[in-house]
A and B are shown apart, each in its own frame.
Chain A
Amino acid sequence: MRKALLTAFMCLCISAPAFALDGNEMLEKVDRNLNPESFEMYRKLINIESDGSKKEFVMYSVKKGKDKIASVFLSPASEKGRSTLRVGENMWLYIPNVGKPIRITSLQSVTGGIFNNADIMRVDYSAEYNCEKVEPADDGHILHLKAKTNTVAYDKVKMRVYGERLLPDKLECFASSGMLIKTLYFKKVKDFGSGIVRPAVIETDSPLYKGYKSIIVFAKVKAKDLPDEVFTLNYMSKVEGLRK
């Protein structure tokens, strides 16, 4: 009996990390399915108010590695030239009028509306989260993600992935208190070329912003070789120069 219990205990000890590793591998695969490691993209952010009125922002972004992303606003005119940089959990905002980068935090929002800075400057999920549990779901899995540090915007995330390509279609983001902060819906899978097939639209709603909705539409997502120096404070005012 003791032998059987010991064997069962050892099996559990061995199987638990293996299961977690599978989940983390799946998470890394989700990251690579969403975008190459080093790439550029254009995004339109649309904030829709409860009365139907909307405000739009267009951004050009470049990302390298798991945790480096730089963006610049191309429109509207009031935001043009503002750039953001994220390296790991460090975030900065450069406003041309102010003339120098200032540190910002992930829970602030440079655009207003439901999106916060962590949503706009999203890095790889596997850079911020560990997968604690994988649950089977209809035609896919639910990954239960836990933030690696307390500097990550959402303490827990429930990600539903589907199909052979392991693309996400729904993400629920929770605070450490367990409160649902927002839900992201991944829609309209599109072939961007060079093997990049991913949702072209992310729609977000939040119980904290009843009746409001925010949407990100992706365009021209393509691989691009970028030097590390692009992801530095001194380069923030020059990010737009990377556009061809």
Chain B
Amino acid sequence: MKLSLRILFFLIFIYSSIPGYIFAEDKSSDMIDLDFEIPEVEKKPYSFNAEFKLSETIRGFDEDSLLFNQKYPEGRDDDTFFQTDLNLKVEGSYQIGIVKLYARLNGELYYNDDEDWENDQRTEEAYVSLLPSPSVTLDIGKKVSKWGKGYAWNPAAFFSRPKDIEDPDATLEGYYAVSGDLIKSMDSPLRTVALTPVILPVSGHINDEWGTERDILWGGKIYFFAFDTDMDIMFLIGEEVEDRFGADFSKNISVNFEIHGEAAIVLDYMKYITDHQGNLTEKKYNAKNYLLGIRYLTSHDTTYIFEYFRNGQGYTRDEMKDYFTLVEDGYQEHINSQAMAKLSESRQYGSQFYNRQTIMKDYFYLKVSQKEPFDILYFTPSVACIYNINDKSGSVTPQITYTPITNLEFEIKTSFLLGKDYTEYGEKLNDCKVYAAVKYYF
């Protein structure tokens, strides 16, 4: 089954790679019927959209890395890991008067050598909107609230789950909340003011990612559009969570140059730090996070996105070295005496605090993409780089997306992780990854 599926995958892969002209209708522009009826002109109360994705991920393990040794202290039979994913994302909406229902569901069926066939389903969003006028909206239900102006990171996105740095555009799952929009436009230098209040209940049954104690999180965002600049001020407060306040901005400097920034402060942030012996200490402080970025388009249609991120909640180089020492000592102890105590301790700290993306203090992100090179329409090669300034490690990810046929998208991505011993990217589980996917929208 596994083999046949992979053969099927690569057949589709090859099919989708065939240049568009194979499927082209032989029509010159003069033969196109311009007196057409646009079918989409007739509005229906409901809408339905879906995206089917078939993908294959191959990870090359770094068998010398500490996180590999932490996860597989006995080693593995093979040094590569294959996973085949079938993913279906369905979204639908229905509107009656001022009431609109919306839902987005995500179902995944995947196969890998470790787990065999597994599946996962989740409701990413499901909410009711009341739309009495263009200036007033009320949303109740599970909804994504993405705040902030950064591309790779959003330190001011207080009500969002963290982005996947390897795929910053991926859809996220929302939280159950009541939120609204009050918009006021004016004929003055301050052209728009918009208020977005958010009330997010927390308990053991709802939004439990925020805690299991009953609590209500209050938050809000005020948006200003003045002097051709977007500005937001936002906050989140609650009994059981750290209060946080933030601001962001974005502005086009010229026809091809945009700048943006975000800043946030998390009051009384509690950081858990282990020493090299596994003694966990707590450090409470006001964590300051900020981001500055640009988006620049050259005359050759090359787009540069460059961001600097200061993660005030992150670990220092010395704190990470202590953690890596704990992992290494735990592994050596296991090799020498089969003892698991220290290794288990490092695993626990890893899953709770350390084995995450963007875990240290200072990062650069650069993405360079070239629109339609060699006159190949809908073909975009790009390369994304993440650089950890503190330990000089990082990743390089060349990527190609191609849409030769309407609604059929082909994507291939290869990541290389680079870094010395005791660095974030040098000690990750794998040192390379190949990802190929075919997406069909309908």
**A→B interface (CB under 8 Å):** 42, 44, 46-56, 58, 60, 74-78, 80-81, 87-91, 95-100, 102-109, 112-113, 118, 150-153, 187-188, 200-201, 203, 209-213, 215, 217, 219-220, 227-235, 238, 241, 243-244
Nearest CB in chain A: distance from B247 CB, A: 16
Which of B20, B47, B135, B172 is close to A229, meaning CB atoms less than 8 Å apart?
B135
Pair B258/A103 contact, Cβ less than 8 Å: yes
Q: Which residues of B contact A48 (CB under 8 A)?
A: 27-29, 32
Residue B112 is within 8 A (CB to CB) of chain A in the complex: no
Cα A241 to Cα B136 with chains together (Å): 13
Say yes or no: A151 contacts B134, CB within 8 Å: no
- 5 new A-B contacts at CB < 8 Å, known A90-B230, A99-B144, A112-B378: A52-B24, A53-B20, A78-B441, A108-B297, A151-B252
Q: Determine chain A's interface SS by DSSP, over half rule.
A: mixed
170-217 of chain B: CB within 8 A of chain A: 170-172, 181, 183-187, 191-192, 194, 196
Q: A107-B297, A244-B43 are in contact. Are A55 and B184 (CB under 8 A)?
A: no
Given contacts A42-B41, A112-B371, contact A234 B255 (CB under 8 A): no
Q: Tell me the bound Cα distance from A44 to B257 in angstroms.
A: 29
Residues of A within 8 A of B194 (CB): 232-234
Counting chain B CB atoms within 10 Å of each CB, the highest count among A47, A48, A53, A151 belongs to: A53
Contact across chains for B146 and A219 when beta carbons are under 8 A apart: no
Question: Cβ of B40 < 8 Å from any Cβ of A?
Answer: yes
Q: Is the CB of A54 within 8 A of B41?
A: no
Number of interface residues of B (CB under 8 A): 76
Given contacts A78-B406, A217-B36, A219-B38, contact A233 B171 (CB under 8 A): no
Judge if B409 is at the interface, Cβ distance under 8 Å: yes
Contact B225 A151 (CB under 8 A): no
In the complex, the answer to whether B377 meets A47 with C-beta atoms within 8 Å is yes
Q: A99-B171, A227-B134, A234-B194 are in contact. Are A52 and B27 (CB under 8 A)?
A: yes
CA distance A231 to B254 in the complex (A): 21
The minimal Cβ–Cβ distance linking B349 to chain A, given in whole angstroms, is 32
Residues of chain B within 8 A (CB-CB) of A112 are 371-372, 377-378
What's the minimum C-beta distance from B134 to chain A, rounded to whole angstroms?
Answer: 4
Please report the C-alpha to C-alpha distance between residue A79 and residue B184 in the assembled complex, in whole angstroms: 29
> What residues on A are CB-neighbors of B41 within 8 Å?
42, 219-220
Closest Cβ neighbor of A90 among chain B residues: B228
Contacts of A113 in B (CB 8 A): 377
Which of A74, A97, A215 gathers most chain B CB within 10 Å?
Answer: A97
Q: A44-B38, A52-B26, A108-B303 are in contact. Are A150 and B191 (CB under 8 A)?
A: no
Chain B residues within 8 Å of A209, by CB: 375
Q: Cβ of A215: which chain B residues have Cβ within 8 Å of it?
A: 29, 32, 34
Our pick among B29, B100, B185, B257 for the contact of A203 (Cβ within 8 Å) is B29
6 nearest A-B pairs in the assembled complex, by CB-CB distance:
A53-B24, A228-B185, A51-B21, A74-B40, A77-B441, A78-B441
Tell which of B29, B49, B131 touches A80, judged by Cβ atoms closer than 8 Å. B49
Is A234's CB under 8 angstroms from B223's CB? yes
A76 pairs with B406, CB closer than 8 A? yes
Q: Which of A99, A102, A106, A151 has the most CB atoms of chain B within a 10 A radius of its CB?
A: A99
Which B residues are CB-close (under 8 A) to A98? 146, 169
Q: Is the CB of A103 within 8 A of B409?
A: no
Q: Which residues from chain A contact B170 at a C-beta distance below 8 Å?
A: 97
